[in-house]
Chain A
Amino acid sequence: MNCRQIEKYLPLYAGHDLSGSREQLLAAHLQSCGACTEALADFQNARELMQTFSAPSFSDEVYAEIRKSVWRQIESESRPTLFAAVAAWFQPRLVWSAAAALVVTLSVVGVYVVAQKFTVRPKAIAGVPQIVLPPLNGAGENGGSNSAPPEPLRRPRQADVQKRQQRPVRTVAPDRSIAAGAYSPDGQVPKVESSSPVIGADDVDLGSGSLRMELQTRDPNIRIIWFTQGDSKPVAHSKGI
């Protein structure tokens, strides 16, 4: 080892802080090197000065004052202030509230995400025409209340209503499954076939002591009309084809 390398280890050598083998190496060098021995003496002097660096002796009053101050501070810290008490009362609740709100929010979001993921939506099948229904209550496609309903749909409905109002009241005729005969003044008595049963009466007229009844059979060409006057017998008319 040369002097430059030795100089690096001199501060530690002065305090016996080197390992055994390195200390022996330095000791061997120092025996033969005056400059390094002089440098070592400087470090040893400084270290001796360090060891004499004693703190001043403080009186017992100083120590007693320190202990008193410590106890005073411990006592003041152990006594909670009003603000600390209020903060301590609120703090755990706030934490729990925040935690509960977080859990609820996460749960709702989670359920929504899962529901969105597993919902099956109907898809339009190619080639099948879609049914377009007319809007209800005269509402247009846009759903606006001011839009006029389409005319072709409205007219037939009004016509149907008028027809229904003009049409006489129908009553159900009694069941006549058996072929009925009819009386005709001119002696022609047409026969009503059983294949054309009566399906309903067209008119019932209650005049002064007379009754007129029309019965429409299933065959549109045959209509049975009854006239009743006092003790008169029923008369059957048959419309010609």
Chain B
Amino acid sequence: MALAIEMHLPEDTVARNQSALGYLIERAAAGDHAAFEQIMIHSQQRVMAMSWRMLGNDADARDASQEVFLRVYKYLKRYDQNQDFFAWLYRITVNVCRDVLRKRMRQADRIVPLESDAGIAALDVACSQDDSEQILLSRQRHALIGQAIATLPHKERASILLRDVEGFSTEAVAEILQSSATTVRSQISSARKKIRDYCRRCITHGGIHK
């Protein structure tokens, strides 16, 4: 397959200029492969990062990103130009991650049970490495929050990641998840409580301090 990439728009230009993005989307929907390649290039980091946060490992994040772009290619003609493209992209990403999680649940529970001793032991191993104290602490926090997020149900996980990590407003999160703002607030509140409780428990057991 020959992929002739003729358009090289800077990433900032695409992010800021919705009309340029709209033009790319129109051309991609009309079957222009180069335009779709550009769309992938300018959205791959967001999709990959969100998938990784939702799923917690590289392999699943890659598979999910691939599936997201396939769905984007398939349903690009249905995309309404009046709505935010990245909100639409995040919706697809969240749905794909939900499917991956379900598949994973069916096959085998590959997530490390966070409330078990294994999760705490992983933190202890990390503590014993020969890094500087600051880097070590940063890694521990990162692992801790990742495990705390992994304990959340899918909807709470998506809500808290979109709100606190991706920085969307509550209303925008509600639009992405096709839910009401009240429901999203409830999910965010519940997720924050669970994360706080998980962190508190781990810090008590593992001795992680901020």
User: How many angstroms from the CA of A197 to the CA of B58 in the assembled complex?
Assistant: 133
Interface positions, chain B 44-89, Cβ under 8 Å from A, are 44-45, 48-50, 52-53, 58, 61-62, 65-66, 69-70, 73
Interface positions, chain B 1-42, Cβ under 8 Å from A, are 1, 3, 33, 37, 40-41
Instruction: Flag if A45 contacts B210 (CB, 8 Å).
Output: yes
Contact of A11 (CB < 8 Å), options: B45, B62, B188 = B188
Chain A, 75-117, contact with B by CB distance < 8 Å: what is the 0/1 string? 1000000000000000000000000000000000000000000
Instruction: Flag if A53 contacts B53 (CB, 8 Å).
Output: yes
Interface positions, chain A 127-171, Cβ under 8 Å from B, are none
Q: Report chain A residues within 8 Å CB of B52.
A: 55-56
Task: Take A55-B48, A56-B58 as given contacts and tell me if A17 and B188 are in contact as well, using a CB distance cutoff of 8 Å.
Answer: yes
Closest-CB distance, A16 to chain B (whole angstroms): 10
B195 within 8 A of A: yes
Instruction: Flag if B66 contacts A73 (CB, 8 Å).
Output: yes
Task: Take A66-B66, A66-B69, A73-B70 as given contacts and tell me if A50 and B195 are in contact as well, using a CB distance cutoff of 8 Å.
Answer: yes
Instruction: Flag if B195 contacts A46 (CB, 8 Å).
Output: yes
Closest-CB distance, A20 to chain B (whole angstroms): 14
A70 within 8 A of B: yes
B contact patch SS: helix
A43 within 8 A of B: yes
Interface positions, chain B 153-197, Cβ under 8 Å from A, are 160, 163-165, 170, 185, 188-190, 192-193, 195-196
User: How many angstroms from the CA of A161 to the CA of B145 in the assembled complex?
Assistant: 122
Closest-CB distance, A46 to chain B (whole angstroms): 4
B200 within 8 A of A: yes
Nearest opposing residue in chain B for A69, CB measure? B66
Q: Report chain B residues within 8 Å CB of A15.
A: 163-164, 188, 192
Give how many B residues have a beta carbon under 8 Å from the other chain's beta carbons.
45
A52 within 8 A of B: yes
A193 within 8 A of B: no
Instruction: Flag if A49 contacts B40 (CB, 8 Å).
Output: no
A178 within 8 A of B: no
User: How many angstroms from the CA of A47 to the CA of B210 in the assembled complex?
Assistant: 13
Task: Take A12-B188, A17-B170, A51-B164 as given contacts and tell me if A42 and B144 are in contact as well, using a CB distance cutoff of 8 Å.
Answer: no
Contact of B48 (CB < 8 Å), options: A14, A49, A63 = A63
Interface positions, chain A 1-19, Cβ under 8 Å from B, are 11-12, 14-15, 17
Q: A50-B164, A53-B165, A55-B61 are in contact. List 20 more A-B contacts (CB 8 A).
A: A11-B193, A14-B192, A15-B192, A17-B163, A42-B200, A49-B144, A49-B145, A49-B199, A50-B145, A52-B138, A54-B49, A56-B52, A63-B45, A65-B62, A67-B37, A67-B41, A70-B70, A71-B1, A73-B70, A74-B73
Could you give 8 example pairs across A and B, Cβ below 8 Å?
A17-B170, A17-B188, A42-B200, A46-B196, A58-B48, A66-B62, A67-B69, A69-B66
Closest 5 CB pairs of A and B: A55-B49, A11-B192, A55-B52, A11-B189, A50-B164
